[in-house]
Amino acid sequence: MSIRRIGHAPETGRIRSPFARRRAGEPPTRTAVRNAKVAGLPLAFAGRQLAGAGRKALGQPATEVDRQIQIRTAQHMFEVLAELKGCAAKLGQIMSLYELVLPPHLGEPYREALSRLYESAPIMLPRTVHAAMAANLGSEWRALFREFDDRHAAGASIGQVHRAVWHDGRRVAVKLMYPGAREAVRADLQQLRRISVLATAFVPSADVAAVTAAICASVEQELDYAAEARCQRRFADAYAADPEFFVPQVITQCGDVVVSEWVDGIPMTRIIESGSPEERSRVGMLLLRFLLSTPSRTDLLYCDPHPGNFRILPDGRLAVLDFGACDTWPAPGFPDAVAGLGEAIFNGGLGEVDAALREHGFVAPGREFDVEAFAEAAVPICEAARQQTFRFSTGWLREQALRALSPTLSNVNRQMTIPAHFTPYGRSALTAISVICQLETEGALRSELIRWSPELAEVFDRFDRRSGNPADLAIVRQRRADAGESAPRLRAVR
C-alpha cells in the first residue's frame, strides 16, 4: 500500500492539510464526501433491519438474523472508519476491542480494515513539518534544537512524532499535530453524533445519545495539546523516581507542538507478539497497577491504555507516552457505585443486586429486569476478582464479550444502560482488559484491586470472613497507615 505524503500546495505555497485533498488510496476529505460516507452508515443499518424482518417472516431464525445484522453493521463501521481516518482512526482504536472478541474466522475482515487504518496514516513532507513548526514555535524554532530529524519517528491518528536534540543536549520527542486535523476531527464528531442509533444494535436500553456525547467529548479532549501537557506533567511528577513506571517530562508545549523527553524501549505490541509467558504476565500486571494507582496518585484517570502508548525500558520499568485522554477523578457517585455494587454482588442477594443496579443508574426506574440472569452472567467476571490469582486470555474475553453483545432479546445486558458520566471509566477499563487478555496475563488481580481500592478491600474482607478464608489486607492497612488514612465506612445497599 502506498504511503501518503503531504507537502505544500505548489500553486499557493500554503501549508496543505493532510485532510484537504484526495488521491487514490487517500482519505476522503471534502466535507460533502466525508458526510456522505458517515451518513450512509445508519441508512445501511435501516436497510439491514428491513431485510432482516423479511427473512424472519420467511421463517429464518430471529437470533441468526439479528446476529448477522450486528456483525455486518460492525464490519461496515470499521470499513468506513478505516477510510476516513482522522478522528475516525481514534474511534477505530476504541472499537478494535470488538474485533478482538470475534471468533477468528469472523474477525478477519476487521483485522484487515484495522491494518489499513494503522498502515495508511498520512506523513507530512519536511517542508510542511517546517512550516507547521514555525507556525507554532516561531520562525526561529530551529534555534531551540541542536538537531531535528525531518523524518517522522512515529505516527498517530491526528499527528506524528519526530526525534530531536534539545538545545541543552537532551534527546526529545516532538509531537506535532497535522495541519487541518482539528477541523476534520470536529466535523467527524458532529457526524458521528448523528449515527449513534447504530449502537442500539448492541445496547437498546442505553441512553445512546448521552453516551455518544461523552465519547465524543473524550476524543475532542485529545485536540488540546496544552491540556495534554498539563496532564503529562502531573503524571511525571507523581511517578518521578518510581521503581516500576516512567513518565517522560514535558520540556515545552506551544500550540499544536509538545516537546518531551525521548524514550527508548520495547513496544508493548512486541511483548504481545513474542514475549515469554512470564514477561507478558509481568507487563500485564504492571499495566493494571499503573491504571489502578493513577487516581490516588494524580487525581486523574488514564483513559487510553492502548498498547501503542507503552514501552518497556531496559531496566524493566513500564514507560507511558501519551496523555491526551485523561479525565478528572472521580466522576460523581463513582466511589459509591463501586462500594454499593461490590457489596451487593459479593455479599448480598438478588434483591440487593437489583436495588444497587437501579440506585446507581444501570437499570432505568420502573423497567423490568432479569436480575437472576444478570447474576449468572456476572459469575465469570466475579470469579476473576475473587480468586487469589487468575489467568486472562483472549478466549475468556471473547466468551464474555459475545455474551454481553449478543443481539438476542433474552440478553440481560440489553435491559441495562450506563450512566453517561461513567463513560471514561468504561473506555479505560474495556481497553485495559483487552490488552491484559492479549498479553495472556496471569497474576493477582484481587490483590491489586484491594491495594488501590479501599472500598473493595472492605467488600472482600467481609466476603472472606463470611466464607472462612480471611483476606490478606496487610498492604491496604500499611498504605493507610503511611497516609494517615482512616478506613472509610462502606454504605451497604439495602
- pLDDT at res. 423: 79
**Euclidean distance between CA atoms 177 and 346, whole angstroms:** 47
Measured from the Cβ of residue 178, the count of other Cβ atoms closer than 10 Å reads 28
Spans of all domains in the chain: 5-120, 266-494
pLDDT in tens for each of the 494 residues of the chain? 333 333 334 334 344 443 344 333 333 444 555 556 655 666 566 677 667 777 777 777 877 777 677 667 666 665 665 555 445 555 555 555 555 555 555 455 445 544 444 444 567 889 999 999 999 999 999 999 999 999 988 876 678 899 999 999 999 999 999 888 787 777 767 766 666 555 555 555 556 666 677 777 777 788 899 999 999 999 999 999 999 999 999 999 999 999 999 999 999 999 999 999 999 999 999 999 999 999 999 999 998 898 889 999 999 999 999 998 898 887 777 888 888 999 999 998 999 999 999 998 888 888 888 888 888 888 888 888 888 899 999 888 878 776 766 655 456 767 788 787 787 888 888 889 989 999 999 999 999 998 998 888 889 888 888 876 544 434 444 444 444 443 333 233 32
- pLDDT at res. 314: 96
**Euclidean distance between CA atoms 265 and 67, whole angstroms:** 42
- pLDDT at res. 252: 97
96: CB partners within 8 A, 6+ apart: 110, 114, 434
Q: pTM for this structure?
A: 0.73
Measured from the Cβ of residue 182, the count of other Cβ atoms closer than 10 Å reads 19
